[in-house]
Structures are given as structure tokens and as C-alpha cells.
Structure 1
């Protein structure tokens, strides 16, 4: 079996509206589906999706021990680092680390780290020569 890419990730959130607003406004991710009755919101992140769910979402298809603030993931940005830093500052998003030089799946990159409303660690990366 060949794995090609990650299609989506699901984050468990404490406040669906607040987290939706954060990912939509701060990261400019369009909301493509909002199922309030199912307590699930889907946002587009490039070619992938980020789904936000409440821990008590009524479904059998979820991890057995859902918790908020346990995720640590990286988003590749298409903007210049200075523009990203200015944008985060304009939304009063605290940078918890960076800029730091890192090595990602496509080579050297520069990253900054922020927390989302549930304290998930979100790395925002800009690849060199991309």
C-alpha cells in the first residue's frame, strides 16, 4: 500500500465557534462545510482539510480519548515571513517561538509557532527557495 498524502486532520475543540473564527480569520482558511447539528466544521487548508469537532460529537468514528490542546502540526504558508509576522500581530496572536530555522519534508524552512484557542501548537512554515 502506498501512502500519498494527508487528506485531513481533525482537531477536538472546546468552542467550535471561536476555533472556526480563529482558523478562518487568522489563517484565511475558507469554511467549506458547517454541520452544527453534528458539531463539525470543515475548513480548507491548501489541498487538505482541517476539521474541527466538539468532544461530544455524536459519531462512532472518532478517537477513543478526545482532548483539546494535544495537537502539534505544521502549516506551510505561501506568504513572506515578514508579512506573516505582521498579520499575526494585527490579530493579536502571540508568537510563542521563532522565527527559527527548521528542516521540513521539502527541505529548509523558517518557522514561527503560535497556539490556537485550545493551546494546540501550530507551526507556520515558509520554505526557502519555494
Structure 2
């Protein structure tokens, strides 16, 4: 088996409209209808699949890659009043250097926004 990409990540959400607005406005992602009937956010090759739950008891965690500077990313997040869990941190991951900031969405799903260099 030769797997090289992720097709989708399921994100548990308790309020679909709030989550759609968050992911569209904060990350400028296009909202789409998925074949399974859920709403999703288009990441070009992958999708975020928003799955409605009465109460999100097990938030998920995932990383996104941004093509902006960390200075601009942080300023943007502050402008949208996004919960910042950890300030920008420089580190080395598998094969590259990364500057990352960790935030929470409205359901406390943990998102690491990365600027690779």
C-alpha cells in the first residue's frame, strides 16, 4: 500500500453555524457540501469534515500549514479574538524547521498553525 495524503479529517462541532463561520472567516476556507451529507471546509487536496455532536466531549487536534509569516498569522488571530493556547514556538520537525502557534476553535479542538521555513 502506498499512501501519501490524507483525504479528510473529521472535526466534532456542537454548533455547525458557529464552526462554519470560524473556519471560513479565520482561515478563509471555502465551505462545501460533502458526499456524506456533512458540511466541510475545502483545503484543496483535503477536507475538514464537520460532524455535529450534541456536546464535544473529545475534541480533536490537527495542524495546518500557512503561507504567511508568523507575525502576520498572530496578528490575524488576535484580530479575530481567537483563543491562543501557546505563543509562537520555533522547532525542528521531521525534515524541516517550523514556527508554530496553537489555538482553539469554538469547540476546543486544538489547531497548530505552522509556518515552515
- TM-score by shorter chain over 0.5: yes
Runs of 4+ in 1 over 6 A off after TM superposition: none
What are the ranges of 5 or more consecutive residues in structure 1 without an aligned counterpart?
57-65
Contact 1:8–1:50 at 8 Å: present in 2 too? yes
TM value normalised by structure 1: 0.80
- Residue 3 (structure 2) aligns with: 3
Displacement of 1:40 in angstroms is 1.7
Asked if structure 2 preserves the Cα contact closer than 8 Å seen for 1:100 and 1:112, the reply is yes
Separation of aligned partners in 1, 2:13 and 2:29: 17
Q: Does 1:27 align with 2:16?
A: no
Q: How many residues align?
A: 117
Secondary structure of 1:19's match?
helix
Deviation sequence 1:67-115 (CA, Å, 0-9, x none): 4452111000011111111111110112110211133355110000100
What corresponds to 1:59 in structure 2?
none
Which runs of no fewer than 5 residues in structure 2 stay unpaired?
none
Larger Rg belongs to? 1
**1:70 alignment partner, SS class:** coil
Aligned to 1:73: 62
Per-residue deviation, 1:39: 6.4
Q: CA RMSD in A?
A: 2.2
Residue of 103, 107, 110 corresponding to 2:92: 103
TM-score by length of 2: 0.88
Question: How far apart, CA to CA, are the structure 2 residues paired with 1:4 and 1:48?
Answer: 12
In structure 2, C-alpha distance between the alignment counterparts of 1:106 and 1:95, rounded to whole Å: 26
